[in-house]
Amino acid sequence: MATRKSSPDDLLAPLTLAVGQEDLLLDRAVQQVVAAARAVDADTDVRDLTSDQLQPGTLAELTSPSLFAERKVVVVRNAHDLSADTIKDVKSYLDAPAEEITLVLLHAGGAKGKALLDAARKAGAREVACPKTTKPAERLTFVRSEFRALGRSATPEACQALVDSIGSDLRELASAVSQLAADVEGTIDEAVVGRYYTGRAEASSFTVADRAVEGRAADALEALRWSLSTGVAPVLITSALSQGVRAIGKLSSARGGRPADLARELGMPPWKIDRVRQQMRGWTPDAVATALRAVAEADAGVKGGGDDPEYALEKAVVAIARAARSGRAG
């Protein structure tokens, strides 16, 4: 079995191993290999199979020498679900991969089918990481990288607004970035994202939180009603309210310094430090405590502890806005 590791840039390596559970990234890994193969030979034969379609003996048939020596890409999805006999076939193939053929294995990366995963790595597979994005920060990084890949500039606020508006689906996020890049000239900012994906900026749960912590009760309530009418989940709004109030508390108790230094200390991007600083006027430690209690009550209310989630959110928004104004003179 070959042990020489293939370069990540070698799209036509004998074996590509795409590991993870993020469908968009897995599909892109396949598309990149297919595009590279067809750039060399436009008539490249692509066989895209699910694990149940690759039965014992099927791989041998697909990779047997052709009279026309055609280039071929064989894709096996959900390779972790292959039967034991088929895994033996794949391992045997890896000992002597055929020329002009690229095998692409898509594997979830867990304990299931680990023997195949280990064998592919030992064979020197070119490996592509396709992890599921579970954290908002990861989705934000994804959006930024999408804009960079398209050679476009977007402000941090615009990237955040897009994540807030679209949600966790990477396909939808990628599509939104592509649309904005195609339709908008110059730097893409938060206002543009608001026009395209929410109809107005207030539709974001984070805009509800921003208006509340700024003490703008009427604006916050308007944003809340718009958000709920456009399908934003109440639990996302309580989460945004909690993050907004906690950011005020963190920054008010932090040592002074440059935004970059505070960003490292508090785990916030520098642009957010600047925004929270502007929102802090009027906040006191008691006000932060009061607001956090209001958020906790709302959270319980939207998760089944009350009969009216909308009322629970309105009550919290008003309480937070009042807390924001409690320390202001006049």
Q: What are the residue boundaries of the structural domains of the chain, listed by start?
A: 15-130, 136-197, 203-325
Residue 107's beta-bridge partner residues? Answer: 19
- What's residue 263's pLDDT? 65
Q: Please name the residue that has the structure tokens 């895994």.
A: 87
Domain spanning 15-130 has what CATH number?
3.40.50.300
- The structure tokens listed for 71 are 């280039």
For residue 142, pLDDT beyond 90:
yes
In whole angstroms, what separates CA 40 from the centre of its chain?
Answer: 33
Could you tell me whether strands 126-130 and 72-76 are parallel, antiparallel, or unpaired per DSSP bridges? unpaired
Could you tell me whether strands 15-20 and 45-49 are parallel, antiparallel, or unpaired per DSSP bridges? unpaired
Residues 6/12, Cβ–Cβ less than 8 Å = no
What DSSP state is assigned to residue 154? B
CB atoms within 10 A of CB 281: 12
At residue 305 the predicted structure's pLDDT band, cuts being 50, 70 and 90, is low
**Gap between the Cα atoms of 69 and 71, Å rounded:** 7
Among residues 169, 128, 142, the alpha carbon closest in space to that of 20 is found at 128
**Gap between the Cα atoms of 213 and 322, Å rounded:** 9
Please tell me which residue, 327 or 129, carries the higher pLDDT value: 129
At residue 257 the predicted structure's pLDDT band, cuts being 50, 70 and 90, is low
Among residues 257, 261, 244, 256, the alpha carbon closest in space to that of 319 is found at 244
Lowest mean pLDDT among 76-85, 163-172, 178-187: 163-172
Residue 74's beta-bridge partner residues? Answer: 47, 103
In whole angstroms, what separates CA 68 from the centre of its chain?
Answer: 43
**Gap between the Cα atoms of 40 and 64, Å rounded:** 20
Cβ burial of 326 (10 Å; 0-12, 13-18, 19+) is middle
Among residues 314, 287, 309, 288, the alpha carbon closest in space to that of 299 is found at 309
Instruction: Give me the helices (H) in the chain, please.
Output: 23-40, 58-62, 84-95, 114-122, 136-149, 156-166, 170-183, 190-197, 205-213, 217-229, 234-253, 259-266, 270-279, 285-300, 309-325
For residue 2, pLDDT beyond 80:
no
For residue 87, pLDDT beyond 60:
yes
**Gap between the Cα atoms of 92 and 59, Å rounded:** 10
**Gap between the Cα atoms of 247 and 318, Å rounded:** 18
DSSP code string of 171-229: HHHHHHHHHHHHH--S-B-HHHHHHHHTSSGGGSHHHHHHHHHTT-HHHHHHHHHHHHH
For residue 276, pLDDT beyond 70:
yes
- The structure tokens listed for 111 are 């304990």
Same fold, 136-197 and 203-325: no
- What's residue 241's pLDDT? 92
Could you tell me whether strands 15-20 and 126-130 are parallel, antiparallel, or unpaired per DSSP bridges? parallel
At residue 286 the predicted structure's pLDDT band, cuts being 50, 70 and 90, is very high
Residues 192/158, Cβ–Cβ less than 8 Å = yes
Average pLDDT, rounded, for the chain: 85
Task: Specify the CATH number for 136-197; select among 1.20.1250, 1.10.8, 1.10.357, 1.10.3470.
Answer: 1.10.8
CATH fold of 203-325, please?
Zinc Finger, Delta Prime; domain 3 (1.20.272)
